[in-house]
Chains A and B, each alone.
Chain A
C-alpha cells in the first residue's frame, strides 16, 4: 500500500498560503529594489513609513472586504458597499457641519460626533439589511439586489449633500482618519479591532459554520435546521455596517464628504481581495484573514508602483497581472498542470 499523501498534501495547502507568498515576494522585491521602502521613521513619537502607509491606506478596503467575505461565503455578493460608504460619510459630515444647502441642516444633534457616528452606522447597517431583505424575502439575485443600492445609494448620498462636497472641521471626526493611537495611525487599531471582533463573532460562535453551510448548500442547511434567511440577512447587515465604518474613515481622512467619489469602485477591490484571499465566489469556506492579506496585497502593489515613480496609469495593469497570478496559483488544476509539465520535463 503506497500512499502518496505527502505529495498530495503539498498541493492542497491552505489557500491563504498563495496570497501570503505573493505579498512576501512583493515586499522582498521592494526590499532590494525600492530605496527606503522598509524605512520607518519616528517623528513626535509617531511612526511613518511606506509599510505603515500601506495598512493605513488599505484600511477602508480591508473593512469592506471583511464584510464582503461573509457575504460571498453565503454565495452572495454586495456591489453597494461603495455607495453605502458615500451615504455614511455624507450623513456624518452633513450632521456635523450642517451646511445650509443640505437637508441635514434641519437636524440638530448638537454637534455630537458620537451621535453622528451612531446614526451613520445604523443607517449603513439598515441599508445592508435592505439588501438582505431583497435577497432573502424577495429572492432577488444578490448581484441585482445590491446593484440597485449601488446606483440609488450614491444618488441618496448626493441628495444628502445637494451634490456638493461637504467639508467639516471636527477634531474627533478627523481623528478617525488621521489620528494616531499608540504611535500608529488609528485606522490600524480600528482594522485590527474589527478583525478580532468579527473573527471572534464568526469563529467562536456557530455563525461561521452556518454561513459556510448556507453558502455551500442552502437547501441541506435548511433541512438541518439552519435558517438561511437569518444568516443572509445578518451578513448583508454586517457588510453594510462595515462599509459605513469605512465610509466614515474615508470622509475623516479628507475631512469632507464627497458623495461622487467616496468609495468609488471599492466593491471591485474588495471582491478582488476576497478572491485573492481564497474565498470562492461560489460560497462556502471563507477566510477573513485571507481577505485582509488580499487587501494588503492590492494596496502594496499600488504603493510599490507609486514609490517607484512608475506612471500611475500602469497601476491597474500591474494589479491585474498580480491578481491573475495569485488566482492561477490557487487553481488546483493549474498547479497540477504545472507539476505535470515539470515532471515531464524532468524525466
Chain B
C-alpha cells in the first residue's frame, strides 16, 4: 500500500501511510487506539474507500469494492467482533453463502464433514451441529478463523484474534498461524499484547495518529522502544503506575458486604467485602466466575442464595436501576453490546446513567449535560472533535473512557470495572490504571476485574481468586503476587 489516505468528517484517519506485507510472513500492525489500524484494514478489505494512494497485490493494483470482493481477491479477515450468526450451527456458519449442493439440495453430510476437517486444522474437536452460541467466545473466534481459512486466501487479516482466548488457545492459534505462514500466506496480525507480537511476528509496522511511524524487524526492535514508538514518547518517560500501596483498612469503612452470595450454574456461594478507598481485584481465568459476580452485585442476575448489605444495611438489588440507586456503577465487559448506545452522541452517552438515576421527570438541561460531558472529555482525555459526535465514530479506547465517564458522572460509591483495559491500547491502559488509583484515593470502592494478572497485582489492595466458578482464595497486601494468584488458580493453595 502506498500513500494511503482516508478522511472522516472532522478528522484524518490515515495520512500518507505505506504498508508492505510479504508472502509467508506474520506482520504485526501496532498502534494505540485511533492510530488508524482499523481504518487501514477496512480499506484493504473494501469496507471503506481510500481517498488517495494505491494498493498492489503481487505488483498488480487492486481495489476491493466490498468485503466479499476482497475475499475473492484472496484477502480474508477475522474481525475483533465475531461476524458470525450465533443461532446457526458451527457447520452452517462455516459454509454460509457457499453451501455445497447436491441435486439442488444442501448437502448436509458434506457440510458436516468439511466443517470437522477445517476445524481439525485448528486442532479443534467440537460438535459442529450445535449452535455457535452454545460455545465460548474463544471457540467462536476459532470458528471464525476456520471460516476465513476455508476460502482460497493469499492474505489473512487477524484483528485482535487473541483478546478473548486463554493461553492454551493462543498457543494453538499461533501454531496454526505459523503453519499457514509456511504455506506462503501473508498474515496481518493486530493485537495489543506485546508479548504475543514478539512470540509470533516477523515484522512490525507501527502507526500513530493516522501516520506511519515505521516498519521494523521484530528481532531488532526492543520492547521498550516499540512501546515508546506506539505512544509517541521515549522509553524513559513511559508512565508506569506504581505498585499500589497497602492501604490501612478497618472495619469502619466497609462499603459492601455480601454473605454467601451465589447463583446455581453461575457462581458458588461466596463472601465478598468491598471497602471504601480500596481496590478489590477479582482474578481468575476466563469463565472462572468473575463477570458472574459482577452481574450478581449489579442486579443483572438474581442470586438464589445469600444477601448484600451496603454500609451495614441489608438491601435487595434486583435491577441495575436499584444498584445505581445504592451508589453502584458498572463498566461492562462487552462494551459494544452492554455499554455503548452507538447512535447517541458522546454527551448523551456520558449523561445517560446520571439522567436515568434522576428519573425522566427531572431532565438535565442541555447546558448542564454539555458541561458534564466537556468536563469528562478533558478530565479523561477523550479524543473527539466535540461532544455531539455519535459515539460510534470514536475509537475503542475513547469509547471505553466515555462509558467510564458515564459512571463517574453519577459519583458512585462503588465502581465495578469488568475488563476496563480490554481491547484498548497501552497508553489508554496506563491512563485507566492511573484513574483507578486516583478514584481509590478519593475514597471510592472499586471492584476490578482483569484477565491481565499483572494489572490485578499492580492495582489491587485485596484480591479474590476464582476457579471454576468458586472463590478459592482471598489475598491481601504483600500476599498479592502473580505467583500466589497463579498457585491459587492452579489449585495448590487455599485460604
Contact = CB atoms under 8 A, between A and B. Distances in A.
Interface string A188-221: 0000000000000000111101101100110111
Contacts, number: 94
A196 to B, nearest CB: 17
A217 B339 CA distance: 9
A225 B357 contact: yes
B244 to A, nearest CB: 27
A221 B341 contact: yes
A343 interface: no
A46 interface: no
B232 interface: no
Contacts of A3: 7, 10, 12
A5 B320 contact: no
Interface string B332-347: 1000011111111000
Interface stretch (B250-258, B358-366, B420-428): B358-366
B7 A221 contact: no
Interface string B221-262: 000000000000000000000000000000000000000000
Interface in B109-145: none
A213 B360 contact: no
B406 A216 contact: no
Contacts of B344: 209, 212-213, 216, 284-285
Interface residues of A, number: 29
A5 B338 contact: no
B7 A213 contact: no
A284 to B, nearest CB: 5
B359 A206 contact: yes
Contact of B360 (A4, A210, A284): A210
Interface string A223-244: 1111100000000000000000
B341 A1 contact: no
B409 to A, nearest CB: 11
Contacts of A9: 9
Given A4-B7, A224-B406, A216 B341 contact: yes
B484 interface: no
B1 interface: no
A227 B341 contact: no
A39 interface: no
B342 A213 contact: no
Contacts of B338: 219-220, 223
Nearest to B9: A8
Nearest to B355: A206
Interface string B195-208: 00000000000000
Interface string A281-304: 000110000000000000000000
Residue among A8, A212, A221 having the largest count of chain B Cβ atoms under 10 Å = A221
Contacts of A223: 298, 300, 320, 330, 332, 338-339
Contacts of A225: 320-321, 324, 352-353, 356-357
A216 B9 contact: no
A227 B337 contact: no
A308 interface: no
Nearest to B358: A206
Nearest to A12: B9
A227 B318 CA distance: 12
B348 interface: yes
A222 interface: yes
A226 B353 CA distance: 8
B361 A224 contact: no
B360 A206 contact: yes
A220 B356 contact: no
Contacts of A284: 343-344
B320 to A, nearest CB: 5
B340 A220 contact: yes
Contacts of B339: 220, 223
A5 B352 CA distance: 28
A223 B301 CA distance: 12
Contacts of B358: 206
Nearest to A211: B360
Nearest to B334: A219
B10 A5 contact: yes
Contacts of A212: 341, 343-344, 348
A287 to B, nearest CB: 13
A213 B341 contact: yes
Nearest to B359: A206
Interface string A33-60: 0000000000000000000000000000
B7 A224 contact: no
Nearest to B348: A209
Contact of A217 (B300, B324, B340): B340
Nearest to B392: A216
Contacts of A4: 7, 9
B342 to A, nearest CB: 6
Contacts of A204: 363
Nearest to B351: A209
Contact of A224 (B353, B360, B362, B363): B353
Contacts of A222: 319-320
A322 to B, nearest CB: 27
Residue among B324, B342, B355 having the largest count of chain A Cβ atoms under 10 Å = B355
Interface string B349-386: 00011011111111110000000000000000000000
Given A223-B332, A224-B341, A224-B353, 19 more contacts: A2-B12, A5-B9, A5-B10, A9-B9, A206-B355, A206-B359, A206-B363, A209-B344, A209-B355, A210-B360, A212-B348, A217-B342, A219-B338, A220-B338, A220-B340, A221-B352, A225-B320, A225-B356, A227-B319
18 contacts: A5-B9, A5-B10, A8-B10, A205-B361, A206-B364, A209-B344, A209-B363, A210-B360, A213-B344, A216-B344, A217-B342, A220-B338, A223-B300, A223-B338, A224-B353, A225-B321, A225-B352, A227-B321
Interface of A: 1-5, 8-9, 12, 204-207, 209-210, 212-213, 216-217, 219-227, 284-285
